[in-house]
Amino acid sequence: MDEFAPSVTRRQLLAGAGVATAGVLSGCSERLRLAAEQSPYDQVGISITTLPADDDVMAAKIAGQLAGNLRAAGIDAGHEPIDEPELYRQVLLNREYDIFVTRHPGYDDPDALRSLLHSDFINEQGWQNPFGFSDGTVDELLESQCRAEGYERKAVFDDLFEHLDGSAPFTAVAFPNHLGAAAADLELTRTPRRPLEYLELVARRSAETDEESPLRIGVVEETMTERLNPIAVDIGDVNAVLELLYDPLVRHTEAGPVPWLAESVDWDDSGGSLEAVVDLHEGVTWHDGEPLDAADVAFTIRLLEDTSLGEVESGIPAPRYRGRTTLIENVRAVGEDRVRFSFGEHTSEVAQRALMVPILPEHIWEQRTEPINNYLTEALDWDNEEPIGSGLYAFAESTSGEFVELEPYEEHVLHDVDIQHHPGLFDEVDLADPIEFRVTPNIGAAVNSLVEGDLDLVGTPLAPEEFQKIEDTEDVETLTSPTRSFYIVGYNLKHPELNNPRFRRVVSQLLDREYIVDDETFFDGYAIEPTAIDSLVGLQPGRWNFPRTDANAQTESTFEFPGTDGEVDESVVRALFEDAGYRYDDGELVA
Amino acid sequence: MALVDLVGNVALVVVPMLIVTSLTIVGPRRLRMAVRTYRWRLAAITTPLLLLATVLVVRVMTRDLLGELSQRVVGMYFTGSIFSIEYVLFETNPVVFLQSFQTEALTAYFAFIYVYGYVFLLVFPFIAYFALSEMDDLNTLVVAYTANYAIGLVLYTLFIAYGPRNYDPLLFESLLYDAFPNFGYLTHEVNEPTNVFPSLHTSLSMTVLFVAWRTRDTYPLWVPVSAVFAISVVLATMYLGIHWFSDVVVGTLLAFLSVSLGRHYTERDLDETVRKYVRRNLEQVRSTVGW
C-alpha cells in the first residue's frame, strides 16, 4: 500500500528546489533529478499469525524464533498471537495472513496432500489449499496417484516430493510425541486418542470393578463443552469426542481398515470404473432411537459435498473431509441397507478413505441446510451442543466451560453382531462406565488434579517441562507416543515475496529443526525431526516407505540451517536471500 | 470445586489482613461509630455504588458480545505492536529484566501480591473511607473504580492483546501459572487472556495509592502501606509475565484520569449541595424580609 501513498519527503523538496536552481545554472539536472526520485524498493514485511502460549506453547515458540530469524535477515517481521477459533477463521476460512504457525492434525494417507495442494481447492475453505497454491505439475501428479496403487503410486509421490523440493507453500517443523499422564492403576502405555483405545480402556476398567464410575479426562480445550460440530473446522481438537459419538462405515485402525457400520464392502472395478457396494448391519440405530439406513449414508455424502443441498449456486462444501468426498463420483442408496458408491478411475487403495467419514443422521441435519450467506450454511455454523450420533458412546450432558459427559450406548448393533474378520470383538465387552471430559484452566491445573486423584488421565498434550516434573510422582504414569501431527509453517501466496518459490525455500530453512527437536527449551527430544523431502511436507517419518525418498533420506539433507542453536548467522542468511535474487538497502531486505 | 475452594481461600487470607489493618489504621472508635451510623453513610454513596454495580454487571453480561464485536469488527490485534514498540525503546524488555531476578521466594511473594495483596488493597479503602465523618473520599474512590472498569472495557474492546507470557515463551516466562497453576481457576473466571492493554491491576492499585495520598492527613500510615502494595502489584504484573511495561504505563495514566473524574464528581456534587443550601437560606431571608 505504501507504494501508492503520496509522500513527498523533505529531501525530495530540497532536491526539487536544487533541481530548479541547477537546471538554470548548468546542464547536469538529470543526475539531481534521479537522486531525488523515490526508491522503487521497500523493505519486505511479514507478519506471522500463531496461537497464544496458553493454546499452544510450541507454536508460540516456533513463531517467535522464526520472526527473530526473519528480522536478522533484514525483514520487517513480527508475530501476532490469535486465539484458536479466530486463527482458523482467519487462516482457513478467510486467508487473511502472511505466514501462519500452528499444529496440523497430520495425514491419514498421502492422498491428503491432494486437498492441501491441488489447485482445484484454491477457493475452498478449511485445510483445502489455504495457501492459494497452483502448479500444473503438482496437480497432475496428485491426480495420477489416485489412479495408481502399491509401488507405482509411491513412485508418483517420489516425483511429487522431488518436484516440490523445499519450495512447497508450507513446511513441517517437527512431529511432536504425544506426552501424557494417567493414573498408574489404569496401566496404560500411551494416552488413548482413537475411539478404539478409549473403548479398550473402559472395557478393561469396567471388568475390574462392579462399581460404575466415570472415566475422568482433563482437557484444556474449552470449546469441547460448547461446540461439537463434526463438519466444521474452526474448532480445536475435539476429535476424541466426535469419533466416539459418530461412527463411520469403515474405521481406520492401526491394524488397517475395519468395516464398522458396514457389514461388508465389495469392491468391483471390472466395468472400467471402480464401484463399492456397502451393506449396513441390520438394526443399526441412532442415539435417539431412529433407524440408521442407507439413505442416511447417501445424505451424509451429499451434505458434505454441499451443505446447502443445492440452495446456493456453486454449493457450500463442508470444510472437512473434502479430500475424501471428492473421490466419490456418485453415491446411491439401493434399498434400506445397501449403498452403491462409484469412484471413477480411482483405485480402491485411495478410494477407501471416502468410506471413513462420520455418518450423520438425515432427520437432524436436513433441517440445517439453510444458507446464512454465500459461504456459510446453518449446518456449518451450528454448535450441535447435544449431538446425536450412532457411536458406542452417546452424548449425556455438558456444562459450558466445565465438562462434557458421554454415556455408553447399549443398543449399539456391534454388541450383538460380528465385525467382518474380527468376530466377537465386542462380545462379552462390558462398557458400563461413562466418559467425562473435564475442562481445566491450564495444563498444570489438570496435572494437579491428576496427582490429587480427581482425574484419571490428562487428554491435552503436556509440554516437556510439565511432563518431566511428574515423571517420578507416585501413582501417576507418564506416557509418550509418536503422532502423525506436525507443526506447520504455511505461506500465503497472495504475499508478493512468499509467492516466489525461491524466497519460500529460504524462509523454510530459517528454522533450526534439529535444535527445535532436541533443545530443552523446545521439544527436548520428544519429537521427530523432518529431514527427508517427504517429511518436510508433513508425511510422518518412517511410516510410508517411499522407494526413492526414503532410500536417500540418510544421505541427502535438503535443508541446511544457516546458523547455530536456533539463531541464524546474519551474513550467511543474507547471502542466501541475495542468491535468491534479493537485495539489501541499509541492512534491510528490499523488493 | 477448585474455584469455590480458591475463593474461600482468598477470603481466609484477606479477611484477617483487613481486620488487622482496620484496627491499626482506622482505629476501633471510628469503626464502632461507622457501624452504628451506617445508614446515612450508605445513603450518601448510593449513586456511585449503583454506577459501579452497573458497570460490573454490564462487563459480565457483554463478555461474549464484546468479545465477538472486538474480534470481528472494531478490535485491532495489538500484541505484535506492543512488542515492537518496546523492542525499539529498550535494549532489554522490562519484563525480561524483572524476570532475570527470578527466585522461588520472589515468585511466591509476587504471586501472593498479585492475588491476595491486590484484593486487600482494593477492599481496605472501602472500610477506611466508610469510617470517615464525610463520604467524599469514598465517593471519589468508587467513581474512580467505576471509571477504571468502564474505560478499561472500551480499551479491551479496541485493542486485542496478549501478555508477554502468551506472546513468546522463549523470551518471557509464565511464572504465576508455572508455579501455581490452580490460580488459573480464579483468573480464568474473572478475566480474558486478551484483556491486557491496559493493566487494570495497575490502574486500580494506583487509583488506591492516588486517593491514599489525598487522604494523607487523615490516614498518614495508609500512604506508605498502600504504596508498598500498589508498587508491588505493578511489579508483580510484569514479573509474572502477565503484563507488558506499556500496559502498566497506560494503566497508571488511566488511574490518574479516573481519580480526576472521581474528584470532579465529588466536588461538583459538593458545589451543588452548597448552592442548594445558599438558595434555601436566601428564600428564607426573602420571605422574612418580605421582598
Q: Could you tell me which residues are beta bridge partners of residue B21?
A: none
Distance (Å, rounded) from C-alpha B211 to C-alpha B147? 14
The whole-chain average pLDDT of chain A stands at 88
Q: Does B289 or A22 have the greater pLDDT score?
A: B289
**Which among B168, B174, B185 has CB closest to A441?**
B185
For chain B, say whether A239 makes contact (Cβ under 8 Å).
no
Mean pLDDT of the region A401-429 = 79
Note the pLDDT of residue B109. Answer: 97
Mean pLDDT of the region A499-528 = 95
Q: Which residues of A touch B162 (CB under 8 A)?
A: 52, 81
Expressed as residue numbers, the domain containing B233 is 2-289
Q: With CB atoms and an 8 Å threshold, state whether B170 touches A64.
A: yes
Q: Where does A45-108+137-176+484-590 sit in CATH, by number?
A: 3.40.190
Q: Model-level pTM?
A: 0.88
Q: With CB atoms and an 8 Å threshold, state whether A444 touches B177.
A: yes
**Which among B79, B167, B184 has CB closest to A442?**
B184
Distance (Å, rounded) from C-alpha B52 to C-alpha B46? 10
The answer, yes or no, to whether residue A425 has pLDDT greater than 70, is: no
- How far away is chain A from the Cα of B64, in angstroms, using its nearest Cα? 13
Note the pLDDT of residue A116. Answer: 94
Mean pLDDT of the region A37-49 = 87
Question: pLDDT by residue for chain B (291 residues), tens digit each?
Answer: 567 788 888 999 999 999 999 999 999 999 999 999 888 999 888 888 999 999 999 988 888 888 888 887 888 999 999 999 999 999 999 999 999 999 999 999 999 999 999 999 999 999 999 999 889 999 999 999 999 999 999 999 999 999 999 999 999 999 988 888 888 888 877 778 888 999 999 999 999 999 999 999 999 999 999 999 999 999 999 999 999 999 999 999 999 999 999 988 887 765 566 566 667 776 776 676 554
Of B143, B147, B149, residue with least CA distance to B263: B143
Distance (Å, rounded) from C-alpha A238 to C-alpha A258? 22
Q: How confident is the model at residue A5 (pLDDT cuts 50, 70, 90)?
A: very low
Of A445, A538, A479, A431, residue with least CA distance to A109: A538
Distance (Å, rounded) from C-alpha A411 to C-alpha A389? 12
For chain B, say whether A54 makes contact (Cβ under 8 Å).
yes
% of chain A with per-residue pLDDT over 90: 63
**Which among B71, B174, B185 has CB closest to A53?**
B174
For chain B, say whether A447 makes contact (Cβ under 8 Å).
yes
Measured between CA atoms, the residue of chain A closest to residue B165 is A53
Q: Where in chain A is the domain with CATH 3.40.190.10?
A: 192-460
Worst-scoring range by mean pLDDT, A6-20, A104-118, A218-232, A428-442? A6-20
Note the pLDDT of residue A555. Answer: 43
pLDDT tens-place string over residues A456-486: 999 999 999 889 999 999 899 999 999 999 9
For chain A, say whether B140 makes contact (Cβ under 8 Å).
no
Note the pLDDT of residue B208. Answer: 97
The answer, yes or no, to whether residue A352 has pLDDT greater than 60, is: yes
Measured between CA atoms, the residue of chain B closest to residue A87 is B71
Residue at grid coordinates 443445492 = A310
Q: If 0-12 CB within 10 Å is exposed, 13-18 middle and 19+ buried, where does residue B114 land?
A: buried
**CATH of range A192-460; options 3.40.50.2300, 3.40.50.970, 3.50.50.60, 3.40.190.10:** 3.40.190.10
Note the pLDDT of residue A6. Answer: 42
Q: With CB atoms and an 8 Å threshold, state whether B167 touches A447.
A: no
**Which among A52, A86, A447 has CB closest to B166?**
A52
**Which among B2, B77, B187 has CB closest to A82?**
B77
Question: H-helix or E-strand containing A218?
Answer: strand A215-219
Note the pLDDT of residue A57. Answer: 93
The answer, yes or no, to whether residue A292 has pLDDT greater than 90, is: yes
Distance (Å, rounded) from C-alpha A255 to C-alpha A420? 13
Q: With CB atoms and an 8 Å threshold, state whether A449 touches B174.
A: no
Q: With CB atoms and an 8 Å threshold, state whether B170 touches A83.
A: no
For chain A, say whether B159 makes contact (Cβ under 8 Å).
no
Note the pLDDT of residue A152. Answer: 93
Q: With CB atoms and an 8 Å threshold, state whether A445 touches B162.
A: no
Q: Are A436 and A214 in contact (CB under 8 A)?
A: yes
Note the pLDDT of residue B92. Answer: 94
Worst-scoring range by mean pLDDT, A211-225, A228-242, B229-243, B267-281? B267-281
Q: Which residues of B touch A88 (CB under 8 A)?
A: none
Q: How many domains does chain B have?
A: 1
Q: Could you tell me which residues are beta bridge partners of residue A215?
A: A435
Note the pLDDT of residue A574. Answer: 95
Note the pLDDT of residue A126. Answer: 86
Q: With CB atoms and an 8 Å threshold, state whether B193 touches A52.
A: yes
pLDDT tens-place string over residues A118-174: 999 988 888 899 999 999 999 999 999 999 999 999 999 999 999 988 789 999 999
- How far away is chain B from the Cα of A51, in angstroms, using its nearest Cα? 8
Q: Which residues of A touch B67 (CB under 8 A)?
A: none
Note the pLDDT of residue A482. Answer: 92
For chain A, say whether B178 makes contact (Cβ under 8 Å).
yes
**Which among B169, B181, B194 has CB closest to A448?**
B181
How far apart, in Å, are the Cα atoms of A361 and each of A170, A289, A389, A586? 36, 11, 7, 63
- How far away is chain A from the Cα of B200, in angstroms, using its nearest Cα? 20
